[in-house]
Amino acid sequence: MSLYVAPSLLHGFGVFTDEAFVSGDPIEACPVLVIPSRQRELIDRTIFSGYYYEWGKGEGALALGFGSLYNHSYRPTARYDPAEEGPVLIISAIRRISPGSEITINYNGNRGASGGISASSSFCPSPVAAGPPWRRPVPGVPGRGSR
């Protein structure tokens, strides 16, 4: 797999691919650094404030690999889901992605949603829920149940 960061027409830099993906293809498994809830306020005062995901009960997660660099789109080409094991974020295609294309995710939810990750379940369910993030059911992911 060949992912790379390049200038984006959407916002500064984005994640692009040299290969084609179809809906359901895994793109990347990103280990995450879990940010304890008591440290989120501190992180929000740094450059990292716009690069982490909601995680667990009030925690945050800074995704490694390319995970924290995907740009937002209301017409995303990929989604994110917590992995079944460990603090890992799985990025997978939700439609065809052509070589040379930017890979985007929806992390603002429905158009007009205000702030945070209140994501639409049809694109990328919010990782915020009770219990460890890698144990929650995720709609459309085999073996993960439904909400």
The pTM score is: 0.71
Query: Over pLDDT 70: what percentage of the chain?
Result: 72
Antiparallel, parallel or unpaired: β 13-17 and 52-55: unpaired
Collapse the DSSP code of 12 into the 3-class scheme (helix H, G, I; strand E, B; otherwise coil) and give the result: coil
pLDDT tens digit sequence for 36-64? 999 998 988 998 888 888 888 889 999 99
Cβ atoms of 95 and 77 closer than 8 Å: yes
pLDDT-based confidence at 67, cuts 50/70/90? very high
Q: From CA 138, how far away is CA 112, in angstroms rounded?
A: 24
In order of 15, 16, 75, 125, the CA distances from 138 in angstroms are 24, 26, 20, 7
pLDDT of residue 118: 31
May I ask the CATH architecture of the domain 21-94+103-115?
Beta Complex (2.170)
Please say if the pLDDT value at position 120 is more than 60: no
Please say if the pLDDT value at position 110 is more than 70: no
